[in-house]
């Protein structure tokens, strides 16, 4: 089974529930601007949903851009070893989805697919987010 998201931005209502549940799971409080998924409001046009696309990302340029090998693909999920990250930001610059962010401690972070059971997909009541092949 492929690992990744199917995204239908036309179904997105910009409610930001996906961002809220992501930040709640990762930070134990709602900090939607620190979520590993981003919904860029664009009303009346269709919103832009930014999240790591894993196997839809051609060649995973973040992996090759990292000078300290802090980014790797494990079981189909691109992961960042935050302890190895030196905060250079090269991965942020090369991410075609603009889905890697720097935290307050200057470490890169991104979606880790919640270990294979992404909370954002379960929280998305409109079906804008679903599991690839699901």
CA–CA distance, 20 with 100 (Å, rounded to integer) = 17
pLDDT in the model for residue 40: 95
Residue appearing with tokens 């996906």: 18
pLDDT in the model for residue 108: 96
What are the boundaries of each domain within the chain? 1-51+113-134, 56-110
Question: Mean pLDDT throughout 16-36?
Answer: 95
- Give the pLDDT confidence of 33-68 residue by residue, as tens digits: 999 999 999 888 999 999 999 878 888 999 999 999
CA–CA distance, 104 with 49 (Å, rounded to integer) = 23
Tell me which CATH code domain 56-110 carries: 3.30.70.20
79 near 36, Cβ under 8 Å?
Answer: no
Kindly report the pTM of this predicted structure: 0.90
């Amino acid at each position: 089974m492929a690992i990744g998201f199917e995204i239908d931005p036309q179904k997105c209502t910009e409610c930001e529930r996906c961002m809220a549940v992501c930040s709640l799971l990762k930070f134990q409080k709602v900090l939607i601007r620190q979520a590993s998924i981003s919904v860029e409001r664009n009303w009346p046009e269709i919103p832009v949903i930014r999240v790591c696309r894993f196997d839809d990302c051609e060649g995973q340029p973040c992996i090759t851009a990292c000078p300290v090998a802090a980014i790797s693909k494990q079981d189909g999920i691109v992961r960042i070893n935050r302890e190895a990250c030196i905060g250079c930001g090269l991965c942020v610059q090369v991410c075609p989805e603009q889905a890697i962010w720097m935290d307050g401690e200057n470490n890169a972070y991104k979606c880790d697919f919640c270990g294979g059971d992404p909370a954002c997909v379960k929280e998305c009541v409109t079906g804008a987010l679903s599991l690839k092949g699901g």
